[in-house]
Amino acid sequence: MPVDLSNGKPLAWDSAKLDADTKAMLDNLQPNILQAHVRENMSLLLVHFGDGPDGRRFLRSLVPLMKSARKHLEEVRDFNRAKKPGTPYVGVGISKIGYLKLGDSTSKFTDNAFKSGMKRRKDTLSDPAVGAWEKHYQEEIHAIVLIGDATPEPVAATRERVLALLPKTAKIVGEEKGEGLRDAQGRGIEHFGYVDGRSQPLFLADQVAAESGTNWNPFFPLSHVLVPDPLAPHPSRHFGSYLVLRKLEQNVRAFREAEETLADALGLKGDDRPLAGAMLVGRFRNGTPLRLHGKPSSEGHPVQNDFSYRDDPGAKCPVSAHIRKANPRDSRDGGLERALGVMMARRGQTYGRRTDKPWDDAPATTRPTGGVGLLFMAFNSSLQGQFEFTQQTWADNADFPAGDTGHDPVIGQGKRDVKVRYPTAWGSAKLSAPQRQVPQTVTMKGGEYFFMPSLAYLKSL
């Protein structure tokens, strides 16, 4: 039975009743797409091939270091049951120019963003000029090798094994190191100090069962992340996913100053001051959603995700908040993000070391202005319809979801000339006087689009 990507039920990946095609799909799909792989420590190798046949041999030689999605899911299950540690993640992505260098035709790929490459999409995304990107992103990047694990040692050892396989005709044009950042309670946070990676589209039955709710349905069909691998031996059983990688530098000091300025402008005092930052992000630093609470809910509480904005015109969570712009959760037309198929699987990791405590209230002047940020990564079935749509049509659009909403305060790019209004208190329909938008504090430093092919394709090289 052909794999049904639009199946309205979550995939019971370990069911004995799984059909042969779905089994083949799981045995040939790369991990980290359907379920996040542990990647507290990461090395991202950006590769340039000087010679196509050498490049093909190199990619094929990586297969023994890789595992399938099914193997990964089994490892997760064994870890949850018996704390049995898993193996490192090795993922491979190939860019459009990478495929051409390898001698493959890209005519069967349908995604226009992928076929253009990120450099040629910079105007669509209001990205900085390519000449302002970090040097290695200005070069032709043919492939990416992602290595990740819970601790640095297996990542370092696997990285050595990958480098030992690299042919003389290929070079590593750049490398990114991802390192998880955690708050005092051990929750994963990003550099502005907020819990991140909480809200995700879920595809698998066990994941959905663990997060059932009444207000927000986290289940999304496989069609959000999988597409047939057009160059695999059997595209109807061999699937892949488009990866977006963007290095996003965070000016933490400027963001903290913006939080303080907004708190002053709204007259927030004492314990109410964190409301300003929460209005920008949509959650308090500890992950408490503003839609549900006007103060950070008690520590140790699992980070809540069961909410929609259906009955909140913006009095609790401003419509301009990052998480509301990036996922409007049923705000219009009975679920825009679902109807349009926009939700992508975010799999990023923070980069850059800190000596301060990102979650505390130390003065803004003690915060870094650069050198730290997010290696934003996400899997998509359509880069144009998901990542680019979110960035361009929602985050960068001051009129989404309604006129004069303003840019996404965290990731919006482009001129922030519209003035915006915020609720004067949590839950208050009374709005503040129009305020200048907070300045842009996230800067794109480079990136690329890749396709994560099936293992069957890599073996066929």
- Closest CB to ligand HEM among 235 and 426? 426
CA distance 317 to 300: 22
Which of 13, 109, 114, 194: binder of ligand HEM (CB under 6 A)? 194
For position 197 contacting ligand HEM by CB under 6 A, the verdict is yes
Alpha helices in 96-195 (DSSP H): 96-102, 112-116, 135-138, 152-165
CA distance 242 to 452: 6
CB atoms within 10 A of CB 243: 30
Which residues, numbered 242-301, are part of the site for ligand HEM (CB under 6 A)? Answer: 248, 250, 281, 283
Interface stretch with ligand HEM, choices 85-93, 98-106, 134-142, 192-200 (CB under 6 A): 192-200
Interface stretch with ligand HEM, choices 52-60, 69-77, 114-122, 187-195 (CB under 6 A): 187-195
- At a CB cut-off of 8 Å and minimum separation 6, what does 241 contact? 30, 33, 225, 226, 227, 379, 380, 381, 451, 452
For position 410 contacting ligand HEM by CB under 6 A, the verdict is yes
Residue among 448, 403, 450, 437 nearest 138 (CA): 448
Total of residues contacting ligand HEM (CB under 6 A): 26
Which of 69, 279, 323, 455: binder of ligand HEM (CB under 6 A)? 323
* CA dihedral of 230, 234, 238, 239, whole degrees rounded to 10: 20
- At a CB cut-off of 8 Å and minimum separation 6, what does 2 contact? 21, 236
For position 310 contacting ligand HEM by CB under 6 A, the verdict is no
Q: At what angle do helices 274-281 and 252-265 cross, to 10 degrees?
A: 110
- Asked if residue 250 lies in contact with residue 291, where contact means CB atoms within 8 angstroms, the answer is no
Residues comprising the chain, all counted: 461
Using DSSP, state whether 48 is helix, strand or coil: strand
- Closest CB to ligand HEM among 71 and 198? 198
* Extended strands (E) in 106-238: 143-149, 170-179, 181-182, 188-189, 227-228
In angstroms, give the least distance from the CB of 399 to ligand HEM: 17
Interface stretch with ligand HEM, choices 72-80, 123-131, 191-199, 204-212 (CB under 6 A): 191-199
- Closest CB to ligand HEM among 192 and 359? 192
Which of 44, 46, 321, 442: binder of ligand HEM (CB under 6 A)? 442
In angstroms, give the least distance from the CB of 196 to ligand HEM: 4
Which of 25, 26, 73, 411: binder of ligand HEM (CB under 6 A)? 411
Interface stretch with ligand HEM, choices 54-62, 94-102, 123-131, 369-377 (CB under 6 A): 369-377
In angstroms, give the least distance from the CB of 155 to ligand HEM: 22
Q: What is the CA radius of gyration of the chain?
A: 22
User: Which positions lie near ligand HEM, rule CB under 6 A?
Assistant: 190, 192, 194-199, 248, 250, 281, 283, 322-323, 326-327, 373-374, 376, 387, 390-391, 395, 410-411, 442
